[in-house]
Structures are given as C-alpha cells and as structure tokens.
Amino acid sequence: MNNDILKILISQDEIKEKVKELGQLITKDYKDKDLMVIGILKGCIVFLSDLIREINLPLTMDFMVVSSYGSSTKSSGVVRIVKDLEKDIAGKDILIVEDIVDTGLTLSYLVEYLKSRNASSVKICTLLEKPDRRKAEVDLEYVGFHIPDEFVVGYGLDYAELYRNLPFVCVLKPEVYS
Ligand code: PRP
Ligand code: MN
Ligand code: MG
C-alpha cells in the first residue's frame, strides 16, 4: 500500500491540528443549538470520528450513504441515496460532515434534501475542498484544507474502495490508476 504513494499532501499532524481547530469553532457556534451531525458514508468516517471528539457539546448523529463516484475517479454527477436518515430531523441544526467537496453535486443535492425535511439549519463541514472543480454552488461553512485538482486518497478517501485507512491525505502514483 505504501509503495503506491507518490506524495503526502497533508500530514497526520497537520490534520490533527486542523480537526482540533474546527472542533473548537463548531463548539462555539453550536453552543445553544440542537446539533445533529450527519456523516456522508463512507468517505466521512475517519474525519467524523476524530471531529466529534473535538466538539464539546451534546450532539446526535446519523448517517447517509450516497453514491456518485462508484469505482471511477470522476464524478458521474448523479446522486443516489443508498441509505436514508433513520429519524425525523425537523428542528435540528444539521451539520453535514464530508471528507471532500469536489464538483459540489453531492452536497448541493443533499442540502436541498435536508432543508426540505424541515431542519432548522443545514451547514457543511468538509475536511477538503477543490475550488477549481465546482459545478454546483454550495456554501461551505467549515473547510479544513483547500487543495489543488489532484485525485487524493487516505483519511477516509478511497480509490476503488482502497486506501481509506491511510492516516494522511496523499496522491498515488499514476500507474496505480491504470
Ligand atoms: C466522494 C466524496 C464525496 C463526493 C464528492 O464520495 O466522499 O462524498 O464524492 O464529490 P462531488 O463534490 O463531486 O459530488 P464517493 O461517491 O466516492 O463515495 P465514498 O464516500 O463512499 O467514497
Ligand atoms: Mn463520499
Ligand atoms: Mg469514493
């Protein structure tokens, strides 16, 4: 697995520091709210599990499974809800947690969907975002890192379902994709 890595883009330490910072901000902003964290599986898992331990507030959690990429490195632009929320979210202050915002198609769809279910507020926290790739407009309240248009893996992000368990964000060697 480590042989496939071309370069590390964001180290374990950099991520740790940023997650702490985001957790503190969220703790401050959601002090008197009814916070519900919604993780978008599977990419969110590592970031979300670290992030919630830096949020010093009562919160509830749920997860959605959506799919737009499949096993390709490009977004198909079609968002499919594979697993929906379990409970009513009316009146909740929703914080969507994502690993990456690329075209924004997944999130622009999800934000509208959650608002239509009468959440009090819907905001987004993403570890990574690629500003050059946006196709749909989305307001990103909390962003860890802005990254260039390179296909990255690790810390929850996959290529063909692999590499999610790498503890940093990195770029793979070109031959891995062929
Ligand atoms: C990836 C990523 C985001 C989405 C971003 O998920 O985790 O959820 O694509 O793309 P967009 O901004 O272009 O819509 P993916 O569909 O690969 O599923 P996964 O989280 O299970 O890896
Ligand atoms: Mn995802
Ligand atoms: Mg993926």
pLDDT at 76: 60
> Does residue 7 form part of some domain?
no
Residue 31 burial (10 A CB sphere; 0-12, 13-18, 19+): exposed
pLDDT at 178: 81
Distance between alpha carbon 10 and the CA centroid of its chain, in Å? 15
> Does residue 157 form part of some domain?
no
- Whole-number Å distance, alpha carbon 163 to ligand 1 midpoint, is 14
> Does residue 158 form part of some domain?
no
> Does residue 167 form part of some domain?
no
**Domain holding 31: CATH number?**
3.40.50.2020
Residues 6+ apart with CB under 8 A from 160: 71
pLDDT at 70: 55
CB of 100 closer than 6 angstroms to any ligand 1 atom: yes
> Does residue 163 form part of some domain?
no
ipTM over 0.90: yes
> Does residue 110 form part of some domain?
yes
CB of 151 closer than 6 angstroms to any ligand 1 atom: no
Of 62, 102, 132, 139, which is the active-site residue?
A: 102
For this structure, is 149 an active site residue?
no
Written as tens digits, the pLDDT of the chain (178 aa) is: 889 999 999 999 999 999 999 999 999 999 999 999 999 999 999 999 999 999 999 999 999 998 875 555 566 667 889 999 999 999 999 999 999 999 999 999 999 999 999 999 999 999 999 999 999 999 999 999 999 999 999 999 999 999 999 999 999 999 998 8
Which atom of ligand 1 lies closest to the CA of 157? 22
CA dihedral 76, 171, 51, 71 (to 10 degrees): 30
> Does residue 95 form part of some domain?
yes
pLDDT at 18: 98
- Containing domain of residue 59, as a range? 12-151
Strand order in the sheet with 152-153: 5-10, 169-172, 152-153
As a whole number of angstroms, the distance between CA 55 and CA 28 comes to 9
Considering its fold, how many domains does the chain have in total? Answer: 1
> Does residue 147 form part of some domain?
yes
Q: Which mutation among 42, 45, 69 tests ligand 1's pocket best, with the greatest number of atoms within 8 A of CB?
A: 69
- Whole-number Å distance, alpha carbon 114 to ligand 1 midpoint, is 17
Question: What pTM does this model have?
Answer: 0.94
Distance between alpha carbon 13 and the CA centroid of its chain, in Å? 19
Residue 155 burial (10 A CB sphere; 0-12, 13-18, 19+): buried
As a whole number of angstroms, the distance between CA 146 and CA 36 comes to 25
Residue ranges near ligand 2 (ion) with Cβ within 5 Å = 43
